[in-house]
A and B are shown apart, each in its own frame.
Chain A
Amino acid sequence: EVQLVESGGGLVQPGGSLRLSCSASGFIFSNYPMHWVRQAPGKGLEYVSLISSNGVNTHYADSVKGRFTISRDNSKNTVYLQMSSLRAEDTAVYFCVKGLGQWLVTTGPLYYFDDWGQGTLVTVSS
């Protein structure tokens, strides 16, 4: 059974930083790209970031580009999201997600999401 367990959420002031972690089990972690998707309170879903299976390639939504960094440690079956220069609009539940699809140079990442963690809440407020 696939399990994705996020941690690291909390309250942070605007301009601050936070690192989220996601521990994975139940599948061969190093074979899969991993993603972060977020959901602001009472709102819909927003794609945030993706990292390739070997950690070499990354992709970000325009809304977080230059502020967030995704990374992974395949020896620990863990993916991270380092968030800096946080804004009020970054307040959301952040989901760690395993996806299926493809990532081509010509098309960019094309994935749907078959397994989700329970999410961790990040609140950016003074």
Chain B
Amino acid sequence: EIVLTQSPGTLSLSLGERATLSCRATQSVSSRYLAWYQQKPGQAPRLLIYGASTRATGIPDRFSGSGSGTDFTLTISRLEPEDFAVYYCQQYGSSPLTFGGGTKVEIK
């Protein structure tokens, strides 16, 4: 099983700042099969990125994904008020499917 470790656990930033979230895997993620989700309190997760770097439909271009192998990054170029949430990575390169523990982006 591939274990995903997200860091930091919490990121405290101001509006307009750049957010850099890390997702590290215990084994190489095949074919860059890594997705990122955003979850706000009381809501379901929303798909942001799949294939490590492809934005899902309707996702603003301030969200970008990068990485390969065991190290992946989600970058939010300029934080907007609606971006403060918890972010999860998920690998789908091997079974069982696994999620990271999440990074909370909070307002500083």
Contacts and interface: CB of A to CB of B under 8 A. Distances in A.
Interface of A: 44-47, 59, 61-62, 95, 100-101, 107-119
Contacts of A46: 99
Given A113-B37, A113-B90, 4 more contacts: A45-B37, A47-B96, A112-B33, A112-B35
A18 B87 CA distance: 30
The B interface is mostly helix, strand or loop, or mixed, namely loop
21 contacts: A44-B100, A45-B45, A45-B90, A45-B99, A62-B96, A95-B45, A108-B96, A109-B97, A110-B33, A110-B93, A110-B97, A111-B92, A112-B50, A113-B37, A113-B45, A113-B47, A113-B90, A114-B56, A117-B44, A118-B44, A119-B44
B99 A61 contact: no
Interface string B23-49: 000000000010101000001111100
A114 B47 contact: yes
Contacts of B99: 44-47
**Could you say which of A61, A100, A112 has the most chain B C-beta atoms within 10 Å of its C-beta?**
A112
A47 B97 contact: yes
A117 B101 CA distance: 21
